Amino acid sequence: MLEVSALDAFYGDFHALFDVSFALNPGETLAVVGANGAGKSSLLGAICGLVTTRGEVRLNGKNLTNLSTPARAKAGIALSPEGRRMFTSLSVRENLLMGARVGRKGPWDLSSVGALFPILEEFADRPAGLLSGGQQQMVAIGRALMANPVVLLLDEVSLGLAPVIAEEVHAALAKLRGTSEMMTLIVEQDVRRALGGSDHYLCLLEGRDVMNGLSNAVDFDALSRAYFGESAA
C-alpha cells in the first residue's frame, strides 16, 4: 500500500505542491490530472525524492521520506519520466538493462518487456536516441518495468505522440492493469482516457488537490470546473 500524506514539494524557493494526500491499494491505478503546471510531475518527483519535499511517503508501512532517490528506487519506486529521458548513447536493450540495475526480482525481464512491446525486441540494438517518440515512450515504460516496481509512476504517457501510437501505448498499459499487485500513478493529458484506465483520480490545480474520487463515478462537469479552477456553480 502506498500512503502519501500532507506532501509538499519545492523547486528552490518555488512551492509547487501543497498538502497532497492519498492512499493506493495493491493493484490499483491512480490517474493524476490537471492543467499544465498544476504540479502533476512535481507529485511524481516528490514520490521519487527528485525534488525537495515535506510530508510523508510510506510504501507498505515503510517510511521512504528520508531515503535518497536511489534508495527509493531499490525499495520499488520506478518512474517513466516526462520527456522520456532516454539514455541516448545506449541501445534500446542497454536502456532496458539499466532499469534492471536496481536488482529487484519479479516477472519483468527483457523477454517479458519484449512481449509487451514487440517493437523493442526488434529494435533492441538501435541507439535509443534514434527511435520515434512513441518507441521511446515504450522504452521508458519498459525501462521502469524492468525494475520490477511496487509502484510504477508514468508521467505524460501520450504527450507528443500520434493518436494511433498513444492508443497502442495505452493498450499495453491496459494489459498491465489488474494482472499484478503493482500500484500505478498515471499522469495523462487526455483526461477521459486517464479516467478510463484508472481506479481513482486526483485533480490538481496550482499544486493543490481540488477534486478526487473513484474514476468510474466521476462527474465530468464538476471535474472540468475543478480542472480549470472555476468555482462550483
Partner 1 sequence: MIWVETLLNGLMLGGLYALFGLGLSLIFGVMKIANIAHGELAIGGAFLAFTVVGVVPVPLVILLPVIAVLMFGLGYALQSAMINRVLGDDPIPPLLLTFGLSILLQNLLVELYGANSRSLDPGSFGVAGIDLGGLSVGLLPLMTLLITITLFVALQWMLSRTSFGRTIRATSDDPEIVAMMGVDRRHIFALVMGLSALLAAVAGMLLATRTSITPFSGAERLLIAFEVIVIGGLGSIWASLLGGLVLGVVHAIGFRLDPASGLLYGHILLLIILLVRPEGLAGKRRTR
Tell me which residues touch partner 1 (CB under 8 A): 48, 50, 68-71, 73-74, 77-79, 81, 85-90, 94-95, 97-99, 101-103, 144, 147
Is 147 or 195 the residue whose CB approaches partner 1 more closely? 147
Is 59 or 203 the residue whose CB approaches partner 1 more closely? 59
- What are the contacts of 79-82 at 24+ separation with CB within 8 A? 79/44, 79/48, 79/144, 79/153, 79/155, 80/137, 80/140, 80/141, 80/143, 80/144, 80/152, 80/153, 80/154, 80/155, 80/157, 81/140, 81/155, 82/41, 82/155, 82/156, 82/159, 82/187
Is 80 or 212 the residue whose CB approaches partner 1 more closely? 80
Give least dist CB 143 to partner 1, A: 8
Cell 503493482 belongs to which residue? 182
Give least dist CB 51 to partner 1, A: 11
Give least dist CB 99 to partner 1, A: 6
Radius of gyration of the chain, Cα coordinates, nearest whole angstrom: 17
- β-strand 200-205 against 183-187: which pairing, if any? unpaired
Give least dist CB 173 to partner 1, A: 19
Task: Fill in the amino acid letter for 96.
Answer: L
Gap between the Cα atoms of 99 and 104, Å rounded: 10
Is 95 or 135 the residue whose CB approaches partner 1 more closely? 95
Gap between the Cα atoms of 195 and 198, Å rounded: 5
Give least dist CB 151 to partner 1, A: 12
Is 62 or 192 the residue whose CB approaches partner 1 more closely? 62
